[in-house]
Chains A and B, each alone.
Chain A
Amino acid sequence: MIASGFLVVANPFSRNPVASALFLVLAMISMAGLFVLLHAYFLAAVQILVYAGAVMVLFLFVIMLLDLKEEEKRRYKLYSIITGAAGAGGLVVILVKTIMLDRTPAPVQAATVEGPASSLGRLLFDPNQPFLAGMEAVSVILLAAMVGVVWLSKKDFK
């Protein structure tokens, strides 16, 4: 399962943005599968709905709208590839070594934390938890994003 997740996200290596977007959809769906494995059912559903649904439709819509045909032909600069590979490879080595360094001896056997919508909702809307103000802030953020997008797409920048 995890290996399929790795193979799916090889999208930085395909030229066409549409191919990248479709691979990203596959990555999102396999990520939702991993969430299900972690018993986070509500988050898996939200992942499918928001990412694989809304965000990717937005991406594909913009790709089709912009018609990026000729841009595939541009070559990548060699030093950018070298720099990117070195940076990302170094970071992955450091992260994996850190994770392996302080691995604790298998903490849970009977993990009782489940992620049904009810307990997560009770956590999110509990006034004693720090999440309630965040919920209100998130609603304001969504409203602001909506207003901003409408304004950006209406106004003619000169």
Chain B
Amino acid sequence: MTPQLEHYLVASAVLFCLGLLGVIVRRNLLVIFMSLELMLNAANLALVACSRFNQNLQGQGLVFFIITVAAAEVAVGLAILVAWFRQKNSAQVEDLTGLKL
């Protein structure tokens, strides 16, 4: 039995929800970033599976762009995180209250 489209889509959905759970539950900004990567990867998996089963390469082109933008996003996000850690000496979301009046 070869895996069909819905198997890939279910795997992608479960992966996305694991990432969502990580974003909601974890309090560490680094781990929240990792969960975001997980969600992006779930979307990539769904796109590649749909492009494969619809005999269409455009999904793979989109995934290429998603990977590139995700890499740029991680670089900028981690730089912001390091700059903020240097100032506050913490990486927890509870301490992220710099904009509070």
Contacts and interface: CB of A to CB of B under 8 A. Distances in A.
Contact of B48 (A35, A84, A148, A157): A35
A152 B38 CA distance: 25
A49 to B, nearest CB: 10
Given A80-B25, A149-B79, A96 B37 contact: no
Contacts of A153: 79, 82-83
Q: Which applies to chain B's interface (DSSP): helix, strand, loop or mixed?
A: helix
B87 to A, nearest CB: 6
Interface of B: 3-11, 13-18, 20-22, 24-28, 30-31, 33-35, 37-38, 41, 44-45, 48-49, 51-58, 60-61, 63-65, 67-76, 78-83, 85-87, 90-92
Nearest to A55: B74
Q: Which applies to chain A's interface (DSSP): helix, strand, loop or mixed?
A: helix
Interface string A139-156: 001101110110011010
Contacts of B58: 123, 129, 131
A91 B17 contact: yes
Interface string A109-127: 0011101000110011000
Contacts of B53: 107-108, 111
A74 B86 CA distance: 20
Given A89-B17, A138-B68, A142-B72, A99 B10 contact: yes
Contact of A12 (B6, B21, B67): B21
Interface string A15-47: 001001100100110010011011110110011
Closest 4 pairs (CB-CB, A-B): A84-B24, A145-B72, A95-B13, A88-B21
